[in-house]
Structure 1
Amino acid sequence: MTLPQRIAIVDDEPSVRSGLSNLLRSDGYSTVCFASAEALLADPGALTDAALLVIDIKLKGMSGFELFNHIKNHAASAAPVIFISGHGDEQMQRYALDRGAAAFLRKPIDIEQLLNHIQNELRSGKT
């Protein structure tokens, strides 16, 4: 038996964290949630255990983009990142994708689109 792939969710809104976690768990994934970038970075196994990260752009403290840059600069092998944002625009989307994000989704999140991006990233062997 193989363990489900773990997805780390970083969002400062408790309802978004719990909603995404419940959705992904019902689709067979393991999840771990963090209320801030700092909380993710404080967990020693969070980055090494994550097959994929879902990160909100606008977080209290370190922003999602700052977290992404930190991960890219300090992680031995970075898991793919899907950005989500309730405040995103085309410029933010271009910025994220140009820097290597797997996807950029605006809130409210299209669940089918999210699941398709996750499946494609995990299936592609980038993790």
Structure 2
Amino acid sequence: MPDLDILSDEEREALNQVMQAPDEPAQQRVLIVDDNKDAREVLAEILSLNGIRCLTAASGNMALNRLNTRESIGLLITDLKMAPCSGLDLIRQVRESERAALPIIIVSGDANVKDAIAAMHLSVVDFLLKPINTKQLLALVKRELGME
């Protein structure tokens, strides 16, 4: 009698992974974007030590690529002052994409009122100044990822 399975081995494996994957927001990742390697790594380390999975990107273009290829990204944290694509440029591009509803937090060491107002018009979750208050950052991230 022929095999009457309606699922291929690949489909069965994919279904098993979905069924076994914990249905908890902690599986979502935070994408950290900063052209300063040390700043990126420190933020990733702070979040990772608190059970938050992270990806990093050194530029706005790299971040857009990651957002287009990784469904698991549930939050974007970006620096404001980057070249050639600034944090505001990155946010505008995200807001015009399929990921328009993605929560975004801006972290900046050098911001003016004009930048802050522009960011708020782009519906960012918050605008944090460096040096970062880690308790405030963790509370925001956990709230946005539904980990509270």
- After TM superposition, the score normalised by the length of structure 1 is 0.87
Structure 2 Cα separation of the partners of residues 69 and 75 of structure 1: 12
1:34-93 deviation digits (Å, cap 9, x = unpaired): 0000111233424x3211000001112111101101011012453100001111133322
Give 1:2-13 correspondences, 5 Å limit: 2=22, 4-13=27-36
Contact (CA 8 Å) 1:82, 1:102: kept in 2 or not? yes
Contact (CA 8 Å) 1:4, 1:28: kept in 2 or not? no
Deviation at 1:118, TM superposition (A): 1.1
The residue that corresponds to 1:45 in the other structure is 69
Distance 1:76 1:111, change over 3 A: closer
Deviates further, 9-18 or 89-98 = 89-98
| Bigger radius of gyration among the two | 2
- After TM superposition, the score normalised by the length of structure 2 is 0.76
Give 1:81-96 correspondences, 5 Å limit: 81-96=104-119
Distance 1:15 1:45, change over 3 A: same
1:11-45 deviation digits (Å, cap 9, x = unpaired): 00111111011111111111000000011123342
Report the AA paired with residue 20 of structure 1: L
Q: Where do 5+ consecutive residues of structure 1 fail to align?
A: none
The residue that corresponds to 1:114 in the other structure is 137
Q: Which runs of 4+ in 1 moved over 6 A?
A: none
Structure 2 Cα separation of the partners of residues 77 and 68 of structure 1: 9
Distance 1:118 1:76, change over 3 A: closer
Give 1:22-61 correspondences, 5 Å limit: 22-43=45-66, 44-46=68-70, 48-61=71-84
Deviates further, 114-123 or 90-99 = 90-99
Q: Where do 5+ consecutive residues of structure 2 fail to align?
A: 1-20
Report the AA paired with residue 39 of structure 2: V
Report the AA paired with residue 32 of structure 1: L
